[in-house]
Amino acid sequence: MVGIAAIGVYLPRTRLARKAIVDANQWFAAGLSGLAKGERSICSWDEDAITMGVEAVRSIRADGAPASLWFASVSGPFQDRLNAGVVAIAAGLPENVAALDVTGSLRSGTTALGRAILDVASGGDAIVVASEQRLAKAGGQEELLFGDAATAVLISNAPGLAEILAMTHRSVDFVDHYRASNFSFDYAWEERWTRDQGYLKIVPSVISELLAEAKVEAGEIDRFIMPAPSGSAASAIATRAGIRLDAVCDVLQERVGFSGSAHPLLMLAAVLEEATPGQLVLLIGFGQGCDSFLLKVAKTNAKVRPSSFASQLARGRTSTNYMRYLSHNRLIEQERGIRAELDTQTPPTVLYRNRRMLYGFIGGKCRKCGAVQFPKAPVCVNPNCGAYHEQEDYDFADSEAHVQSFTADQLTYTPDPPARYGMMKFADGGCLMMDLTDVADGEIKVGAPVRMMFRIKAEDERRGFKRYFWKAAPVAESG
């Protein structure tokens, strides 16, 4: 019996009101007004597909280590570096985990899910994480439809949330959109082509094959998950496949946006949070073909960490600052001043030798006196101890901390001024000067609890390299 043991979601805190996008572009594209409703999730300047994926994995990470980690994305920051490897070490997974990148299609999330299910059937748990930071040209329809999100799924032989009853896959080179390797944005064909020749031709036949394999009638499906920018497409497919319309699930367009390869799993997280035991869930992944899965909601999931979709949705902060969004995503050429003209090259030698400290946030704890310190060092920092070579690993990433002091600096360069940083005091001891993130004006104070979050520290634009480290975020806002 293979199934889903846990599922976790990460949504960036900032949600851009679509009306702000429409108001800024209506002078040129008046037809966008019909898409002005709701808001879309957007990454901050220090977030990307990797950082979101790390947070999603951290939310479901169990005591035991999975045998494999599958990172699915078509917006991963590196083309020739293992994105999954960065996610693994930052999420606290051991180096013997098999880390793989899955990309090239918006169904890469469900494709990775299918491969992980087969892996688990032969032994060992697996984590599938799908994460997307979806960019589009300013003023285009895609800018309004897209959303940024990450979802992580723990696949196990002891499912607690849902059992996998059957799955089918079909690869079809149906081009509804594409992005060449030397281009920054997707090129999309017209909607009718995608709907009539893609969704309505490919998906129903795959559903029929799945249901026949599982010996289940279409009318028995309780929840139908069809990721698409429009709910009307899902309803049309359901009608053609014989699925009840009341089984069609919310596509989350008004609250999040279409998050690409992460969207099927994101919708699944929302469904499993509310589903009742015994319900049958049909999950679709679409993109140059189709993946389909039939799941049965488990009888009990009391011992399994629940989906965090509702809490992630609730922590959102609506923004109407369209220019900030354009700036953070380098969609405009902006004068950033002399202070931004620093060479931020990262020597790979230094990064490799300190990878557990920088990405894993591993410090030290003295075996003799219990003093905690960062970074880990040969000598205990406690002046009353001073023991040599008595440091064991100490995980700062999951440690409780509070703000001891902080400042908002208007002179230090940051893509989102002011630069907020301060001294963080950890519960078991140890202090560290750290950047603060996801903080609004007047939101932080001395003594406030904070949570550690993996973020972009700086970007070497000359060489195309991102440097990551940990930042402190207000607990109430970090999810």
* 349-388 confidence digits (pLDDT tens): 999 999 999 999 999 999 999 999 999 999 999 999 999 9
> Alpha-carbon distance 382 to 212, whole Å?
67
Both structure tokens of 183: 């281009």
9 pLDDT higher than 50: yes
Q: Return the SS3 of 118.
A: helix
* Residue carrying structure tokens 């409780």: 400
Range 230-236 contact pairs with CB under 8 angstroms and sequence separation of 24 or more: 233/195, 233/199, 236/195, 236/199, 236/200
Is the torsion defined by CA of 124, 306, 271, 8 positive or negative?
negative
Residue 442 — very low, low, confident or very high, per pLDDT cuts 50/70/90?
Answer: confident
pLDDT for residue 306 is more than 50: no
Helix ranges (DSSP H) in 226-330: 231-241, 263-274, 309-314, 322-328
How many Å apart are CA 286 and CA 175, to the nearest integer? Answer: 11
pLDDT higher than 80, residue 131: yes
User: What is the C-alpha separation between 433 and 457, in angstroms, rounded?
Assistant: 14
Judge whether 233 and 195 are in contact, CB under 8 Å.
Answer: yes
* 121 has a pLDDT exceeding 90: no
Say what the pLDDT of residue 300 is.
55
pLDDT of residue 3: 92
What pLDDT is stored for residue 279 in this prediction?
96
Phi and psi for 426 in degrees, rounded to 5? -90, 150
Task: Give Cβ neighbours of residue 293 (< 8 Å, ≥ 6 apart).
Answer: 110, 113, 114, 164, 166, 167, 210, 282, 283
Q: H or E segment at 7? A: strand 3-10
Let me know: does 229 contact 313? Beta carbons within 8 Å: no
pLDDT at 478 over 70: no
- Calculate mean pLDDT across residues 67-77: 96
DSSP, collapsed to helix, strand or coil, labels residue 353 as: helix
Is the pLDDT at 205 greater than 60? The verdict is yes
What whole-number distance in Å separates Cα of residue 325 and Cα of residue 14? 10
Q: Given a cut of 70, is residue 305 above it in pLDDT?
A: no
Mean pLDDT, rounded, for 168-190: 92
Interval 4-25 mean pLDDT: 95
| Mean pLDDT score, 226-241 | 91
Mean pLDDT score, 437-464:
92
Shortest CA distance to 201 belongs to which of 279, 311, 314, 290? 290
Distance CA 35, CA 24 (A): 13
User: Is a pLDDT exceeding 90 seen at residue 113?
Assistant: yes
Average pLDDT, the chain: 92
Alpha carbon 393 to chain centroid distance? 27
Give the H or E element holding residue 455: strand 449-460
Quote the CA–CA distance of 391 and 383 in Å, as a whole number.
15
pLDDT digit string (tens) for 401-433?
A: 999 999 999 999 999 999 999 999 999 988 999
As a whole number, mean pLDDT of residues 162-166 equals 96
Q: Evaluate if residue 298 carries a pLDDT over 60.
A: yes
Q: Is the pLDDT of residue 58 over 90?
A: yes
The amino acid sitting at 145 is L
Q: Is the pLDDT higher at 75 or at 443?
A: 75
- Give the span between the Cα atoms of 16 and 4, in whole angstroms: 32
Contacts of 350 (CB under 8 A, 6+ apart): none
